[in-house]
Amino acid sequence: MSARLKLTLAYDGSAFAGWQSQKHGNTVQDRLEAAIARVVGKQLRIHGAGRTDAGVHALGQCAHVDLPDRDRLPNEWRKILNALLPPELRIMRVRYVPESFHARFSAKAKTYRYRIWTGPILPPFEVGRVWHVMKPLDFVKIRRAAKLFVGTHDFSGFAANRGKPEASTIRTIHHATVKKSGNLIVLHFSGDGFLYKMVRMMVGALVDHGIGKISSGDIKDHLVSKSRITGPRFVAPAEGLTLVTIRY
């Protein structure tokens, strides 16, 4: 009798070419499927809650897999898989769930964190963990403008093209917070779902607002008009982004 296993994962995104399986095999999904195949003797499909891009980190990514049977305890699976996986990818928690559970479709909310370093010198231990912005940023303006994203909006103006149309570009942001500690600015966004590169484009727009390139009215106009913001300066780098939690 098959059994559905839920995995909660953490990984350093700089070590992988994103979540989704690719031919070269160096993605989080590929590494997980290879490790499970070594244990059960056949290839099984892992279903993830979100397809993080190359360079994006995770503290609480979730996935599920349907096993042929329930012959191992959850903690045994965690121990075995962590022994087979690279050190940049770790299984944090494991449990069996009903077949009605789906890592992606059962998710109620996700929280992402974005970190920006504003000092003139980037500490070595922050490399690959932050967006280093050396231009002066108006923290108060960024914090105020972030509140514009809260609520239900059509976020097509803050989404990149993944290659196929979304069923809906309407999303609800429950919370958007911006905090500062020394040279570090940390942004958190919680919502019912996020479009492709949506958080990175929101952060990019907020930074452009913080350095005076665009106004808060420009951000509001893109939410209302649904016109797509284009150009690399609006897309924050992947390394500052972390998928923190997924709520079910």
In 3-state terms, what secondary structure has residue 38?
Answer: helix
Q: Please say whether the beta carbons of 60 and 243 come within 8 A.
A: yes
Rounded to a whole number of angstroms, the CA Rg of the chain reads 19
Q: Establish whether 12 is a catalytic residue.
A: no
Q: Which of 110, 85, 107, 147 is nearest to 242 (CA)?
A: 110
Q: Which of 86, 66, 68, 112 is nearest to 16 (CA)?
A: 86
- Residue 223 phi/psi, 5° resolution? -70, -35
Calculate the dihedral angle through the C-alpha atoms of 80, 88, 237, 180, rounding to the nearest 10 degrees.
100
- In angstroms, the CA 65 to CA 21 distance is 15
- In angstroms, the CA 215 to CA 132 distance is 22
Q: Please say whether the beta carbons of 29 and 85 come within 8 A.
A: no
Burial grade of 204 (CB within 10 A; 0-12, 13-18, 19 or more): buried
Structure tokens at 226: 């649904």
Active-site residue identified among 53, 154, 192, 221: 53
Q: Which of 88, 25, 83, 26 is nearest to 61 (CA)?
A: 88
Catalytically active residues, by annotation: 53
